[in-house]
Amino acid sequence: MTLPLTATKHSPSLSVEQLDERTLPSAAPTFVLAAEVARDVTELRSDLQGLKTSLAPTGNATVTADLATLNTNLTKVMTDITTGVSATADINALSAAQATLTTDLGSSVSGSVSRQLRELSRDVTELNRDLTRLGDGLAGQLTDVQQAAQSLTTALASNTNSAVVADVAAINSSLTAVTNDLTAGTSASADLNTLLRAETRLNSDLHHVSSSVRRDLNDLRQETRELVSDVAMSGRFVNLSLSAAQRQVQLLGRFLASNTNAAVAADLSALGTSLTSLRGMISAGTATGADVNAVSTVLNTLTTDLGTSVSPAVRVQLNLLATNLTALAVGIEAMQV
């Protein structure tokens, strides 16, 4: 599921960055970056499938081995992404495998294969860029709040007003709780609301302060609001991805209702059960990318048991479900700093 890239942070410093054919804000919300990473992975899958189909008639063992290596490295990258592990080494290996394939094919390839190779190279580059930006997303916003809070705390260190002292302590305490929430991957909503309330109280209790102190407080409140907005939108992205996945499982059940293969029936039942379990974990705030991968494993089994002679409608739903599960896993991992 690719969401429209229209939601942006309300920041006066927001700029636009051109990434090949796509234009994204340089400070794009985390959910937008998660959607882009999921789209990159989907496009890479399509690239490899297209190349495999185009190059199958050649029967070249070296090329076949290169394609297998590319598939293996893409699987490793996807595992990295959906389990919160750095994908740098596997992205580099994927890029190297793509270069090896290009070299082994030589210059006498058809125009269509040449275009497919360029598309593959571009998509590897875009995935690398988007992963870097995603890694800086929520973590970068949290750092901005922490730095703003530290500046304000320093500026008010000499203020002896008991209400102000208590407000500053409450801000730092709630910010610590927010940091712990985001580090653990648990819901930060309650502690973010506590932080907002502490900032509002300080704004009311501060009287006759310098313009620099007032500016520090305004900066903190703005950074906190942006973090709150990003966390909320990221949570909505996860819920939308989950809802889309559930709709696709329902459609698959409808399209395959007449299928008499016992293995397929068992796979569909297991898919529905695993997705229901995942929904419970997401609601409880305990879901991880690995939990989504468990659902993807069931989907892979269903795809294998169905074989290649499935209707176009079923194939579309299988592909959409795989894409939404990737988006779901990326979105969940992106909410942990």
* DSSP string covering 98-162: HHHHHHHH-S---HHHHHHHHHHHHHHHHHHHHHHHHHTHHHHHHHHHHHHHHHHHHHTTT---H
Nearest to 272 by CA among 289, 238, 248: 248
Please give the CATH number for the structural domain made up of 18-135.
Answer: 1.20.140
* DSSP string covering 166-179: HHHHHHHHHHHHHH
Q: 56-67 pLDDT, tens per residue? A: 888 889 999 999
Q: Is residue 328 a contact partner of residue 241, using CB atoms and an 8 Å limit?
A: yes
pTM recorded for the entire structure: 0.79
- 21 has a pLDDT exceeding 90: no
Per the document, the length of the chain is 337
Residues facing 17 on adjacent strands: 24
Q: What DSSP element (H or E) covers 322? A: helix 312-334
The amino acid present at 297, given as its one-letter code, is T
Cα distances (Å, whole numbers) of residue 279 to 242, 248, 253: 7, 15, 18
Q: 126-181 pLDDT, tens per residue? A: 999 998 888 788 888 999 999 999 999 999 999 999 999 999 999 999 999 999 99
Q: Is residue 1 a contact partner of residue 240, using CB atoms and an 8 Å limit?
A: yes
Q: 226-276 pLDDT, tens per residue? A: 999 999 999 999 999 999 999 999 999 999 999 999 999 999 999 999 999
Average pLDDT, the chain: 88
**Domain spans of the chain, in order of start:** 18-135, 138-232, 234-334
* DSSP string covering 15-47: -EEEETTEEEETT--HHHHHHHHHHHHHHHHHH
